[in-house]
Structure 1
Amino acid sequence: MGVGIEVVIVDWPRVESVPVDDREELLIEAAFGEAYSDDLFEHGWSWPVQPGADWYGRYALRNTLGSYKPHFWAGHRWDHMRDFVEPQVREVLDQFNDALFWHGLEDTTGARSAFSERTCTWNADLLLWCPPDHVSLIASWWRQAVPHLESLREPFTRHAADPGRWISTFESFADFLTDWGEVVTEAERRAWGIVGLRC
């Protein structure tokens, strides 16, 4: 299946209280320990119940089977449709998508992402690293974008749909964005960060 991703929201100070060389082990335990399920069709939150383990939550994105490929394909679809999206919606979704999975803002638009200079300071194999101050900004983009999701249907259908592949329909694209919106909204509510572990 190739590269996989496990999405976890974490209490940032709790992780940073651990020595740098021990953080990867801590995150792996959060992603694959008590809250983990090997159900490939799982969707939504898993929370630990052990005392003292209330510093993380794991989120399974629907229809991804734990693979990172849908992230690539969602970015590919966005790249093909974004020129046909209303400018104000395109601007916020450029930033939202780039922060989480697209990573093509500068290449495609010449603009720079708000987080293009960020560097992970943790010694861990991560595909995504979003401290709480980043999360609050990403969540604000989501709040601006979510009322306009239906307006993406026509440009997606005309310019990005590709039956038989990942994220092949508007519904799968909207579900993917909505799942990431759930992750950033919950992380912001708790003032936590988000990590995506490579697996």
Structure 2
Amino acid sequence: MGVATEVLIVDWPRVEATAPAAREELLIDAAFGEVYSDDLSEHGWSWPSQPGEDWYGRYAFRNSLGSYKPHFWAGHRWDHVRDFVEPTVREALDRFNDALFWHGLEDTTKAGSGLPELPCPWDADLLLWCPPDHVPVIAGWWRQAAPRLESVREPFTRHAAEPSGWIRDFASFADLLTDWGEVVVQAERRGWGVVALRC
């Protein structure tokens, strides 16, 4: 079936106030408790309504069915198109993508996010651990790239589009990036971090 993921934005001090051994359970309860939905077509934010539980939000990516595969394939497609993208857009998207879902870009292109790799001290099975001080930097890269995202359409269609599988065309690529942009901008507004649980 492959790897699934649940993406949350979280109030960092609230998570870190929990005993280290209990943090994974706290995050799992947040992702699969009140805000969880079995609706595979769901898209957007889910927020808890219980008193005292206003420390997290869950984001459902469109057309992902909860799978990590679209994130992987978006990175893979980016790898094939990035050399044909206008340099300022390429630089911003290199950093944005590398920080969130296409880790290791720096190893192959020397164009990664440049953010320091911090070990996750939470003893939790996470695909992404993004502390609040990284979020404004990543959101800044999104603000640079978003107005010029349409300029990626032609090179994507020519060099990366595929007739089947995940992230087949520019529209699905742009949707995934726009969803990640929504996640980091909302986290930035709140001063929160971002985590993606491996499910």
**Contact 2:132 2:193 (C-alpha < 8 Å) held by counterparts:** yes
List runs of 5+ in structure 1 lacking aligned partners.
none
Identity of aligned residues (%): 76
For residues 54 and 117 of structure 2, the distance between their equivalents in structure 1, rounded to whole angstroms, comes to 31
Please tell me whether the aligned partners of residues 79 and 108 of structure 1 are also in contact (alpha carbons under 8 angstroms).
Answer: no
Relative to the length of structure 1, the TM-score reads: 0.98
Displacement of 1:38:
1.0
Asked if structure 2 preserves the Cα contact closer than 8 Å seen for 1:93 and 1:145, the reply is yes
2:172 is aligned to 172
Give 2:10's aligned residue: 10
Report how far residue 116 of structure 1 moved.
Answer: 5.0
- C-alpha deviations, 1:130-182, integer Å up to 9, x for none? 00011110000000000001000011000000111100010000000000000
Aligned to 1:96: 96
Match for residue 53 of structure 2?
Answer: 53
1:133 alignment partner, SS class: coil
CA distance in structure 2 between the partners assigned to 1:175 and 1:60 by the alignment: 12
Q: Which residue of 2 aligns with 1:34?
A: 34
Distance 1:182 1:64 in 2: 15
In the aligned structure 2, how far is the partner of 1:100 from the partner of 1:12?
A: 17
Q: Is the 2:10–2:195 Cα contact (8 Å) retained in structure 1?
A: yes
Cα root mean square deviation, aligned: 0.9
After superposition, where does 1:1-199 map in structure 2 within 5 Å? 1-115=1-115, 117-199=117-199
Aligned with 1:132: secondary structure?
A: coil
110-119 or 69-78, larger mean C-alpha shift: 110-119
How far apart are 1:113 and its partner, in Å? 2.9
When normalised by structure 2's length, the TM-score is 0.98
Post-superposition shift, 1:105? 1.8
Residues 126 and 195, structure 2, Cα contact 8 Å, conserved in 1:
yes
More deviation in 159-168 or 117-126? 117-126
Q: Deviations over 1:39-73 (max 9, x none)?
A: 11110000000000000000000000000001110
1:31–1:58 Cα contact (<8 Å) kept:
yes
Please, which runs of 5 or more residues in structure 2 have no aligned partner?
A: none
